[in-house]
Amino acid sequence: MFTYLLRRSLIGLITLLLITFVIFGLIRNMPGTPLTIALAEVDPSRQISEEDMKRMERAYGLDKPFPVAYVHWLGNLARFDLGRSISRKQPVTRLIGERIGPTMLLSVTSLGLAYLLSVPLGLYSTARSGKPDERAMSTFLYMLYALPSFVAALLLLVLFAVKLNATAFELPLFGMVGDNHQSLSTWGKMCDVGRHMILPVFCYTYGSLAYFSRFVKSNMQEVVRQDYMRTAKAKGMGPFRVLVHHGFRNTLIPFVTLLGLTLPALLSGSVLLEQIFTWPGMGRLFFESITERDYPTIMGLVLMFSVLTLLGQLLADILYAVVDPRVSYS
């Protein structure tokens, strides 16, 4: 097990180096630097002189060719320093720290909801497999799965923010808090955030809910054909107990690996949804840093996403060995 972990970590490290190097090269070769992009926004009368530009480039390390700058970045990384954002004049770690809360508020809620609802849904559709109500539900879930979340978000906005405007069902259009947030009591503040969360959480949840419940059902379908299920039924066990204790428990292995693979989704957020709802999360930070050519922030985020993706894969494999004694890596 230990050698396996060591081997996987080493390979992971090489992969990480490759990824960050490729991304570093790509973003450094995008036209425009953080300085020119910021300049394009201020009025042309306040042009910076050539020497000042050179001096600023030197200060931010933009004058060096990108392989040199990459080694420099790696050196800082070894000292746990992700650098400072060029466009926001703040340490990247603090920027990420600010944005991680709102993203996790959405992702944890929606993943929790998806897991909680998908198991009963999946079990229900196994129990009533082939019946009209099950077919209707499965078809509906399948269609939900194909509905792009940004389309759903826009449709919901049209419905709740425009059509139901000025009714009891009106929901806020964007942002995380209302205009009067500061003046509210603690309870009022929570309600305010909650109201702003409803639409984004719904858009985050329905796709994974549809996917997970299909996942549960397809795994259950393999299990219900097993001999031990028939035996359990023959012993006179109730259908619920057969399904949950003898059936569902045996589908937990693939379910657990799914858990590992959703790890990066917890922190990465969704660029499109956060953009639509102007939610101050990681996805928006990522999008903004790309358009601002904010190299340190892009690199910090890419590093975080790739570490999480690789860790998630490793975690899935390890959990696999933990829950299934037939699998071992030694």
Q: Which residues bind other proteins (CB under 8 A)?
A: 11, 14-15, 18-19, 22-23, 26-27, 29-31, 142-143, 145-148, 150-151, 154-155, 157-158, 161-163, 173, 221, 268, 271-272, 275-276, 286-287, 290, 298, 302, 305-306, 309-310
Q: Which is nearer to other proteins, 106 or 310 (CB)?
A: 310
Q: How far is the CB of 26 from other proteins (least distance, A)?
A: 4
Q: How far is the CB of 122 from other proteins (least distance, A)?
A: 18
The pair phi, psi for residue 82, each rounded to 5°, is: -90, 0
The Cα–Cα gap between 224 and 125 comes to 12
The Cα–Cα gap between 134 and 128 comes to 6
Q: Bridge-partner residues for 91, per DSSP?
A: 84
Q: Which is nearer to other proteins, 197 or 302 (CB)?
A: 302
Q: Which is nearer to other proteins, 118 or 297 (CB)?
A: 297
* DSSP labels, 82-110: --B-TTT-SBHHHHHHHHHHHHHHHHHHH
The Cα–Cα gap between 153 and 174 comes to 11
Residue 116 near residue 214, CB atoms below 8 Å: no
Token reading at 258: 């799914």
Q: How far is the CB of 70 from other proteins (least distance, A)?
A: 15
Q: How far is the CB of 305 from other proteins (least distance, A)?
A: 6
Q: Which is nearer to other proteins, 22 or 322 (CB)?
A: 22
Q: How far is the CB of 79 from other proteins (least distance, A)?
A: 24
Q: Which is nearer to other proteins, 24 or 255 (CB)?
A: 24
The Cα–Cα gap between 83 and 111 comes to 32
* DSSP labels, 45-83: GGPPPHHHHHHHHHHHT-SS-HHHHHHHHHHHHHTT---
Q: Which is nearer to other proteins, 47 or 291 (CB)?
A: 291
Q: How far is the CB of 145 from other proteins (least distance, A)?
A: 8
